[in-house]
């Protein structure tokens, strides 16, 4: 199955990234640390959302506006006493059509499960 091939091909990258994330989680000692951790996710997710926005329409994905998005992270960061005013640009996948946008959305949603 294609999903099995994709999972097998990306397993080393997933394990490597998971190790980094777990180390960062274990180093959280305060609300400020947690807000900084969430800001990393917000920075990436919000920029991917901007990149896919032109291609994900209500016709293509009717429930898109109801799905989780970076605004939830932003709210959590603000509740913790921080803000996202100074987030920097980060490199995100090149999104040039609906197929690549759906692929990016699939990966993002899978990462929050």
pLDDT in tens, 75-104: 999 999 999 998 899 999 999 999 999 988
- Which of helix, strand or coil describes residue 96? coil
Distance CA 107, CA 17 (A): 14
Asked whether residue 113 carries a pLDDT value surpassing 60, the answer given is no
pTM of the model: 0.83
Distance CA 5, CA 25 (A): 29
**8 A C-beta contact, residue 17 and residue 62:** no
With bands split at pLDDT 50, 70 and 90, how would you rate the model's confidence at 64?
Answer: confident
**8 A C-beta contact, residue 63 and residue 109:** no
């Amino acid at each position: 199955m294609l999903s099995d091939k994709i999972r097998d091909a990306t397993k080393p990258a997933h394990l490597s990234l998971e190790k980094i994330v777990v180390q960062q989680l274990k180093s959280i000692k305060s609300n400020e640390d947690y807000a900084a951790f969430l800001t990393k996710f917000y920075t990436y997710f919000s920029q991917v959302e901007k990149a896919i926005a032109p291609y994900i329409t209500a016709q293509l994905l009717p429930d898109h506006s109801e799905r989780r998005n970076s605004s939830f992270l932003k709210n959590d960061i603000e509740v913790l006493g921080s803000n996202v005013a100074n987030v920097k640009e980060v490199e995100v996948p090149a999104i040039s059509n609906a197929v690549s946008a759906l692929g990016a959305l699939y990966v993002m949603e899978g990462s929050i499960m």
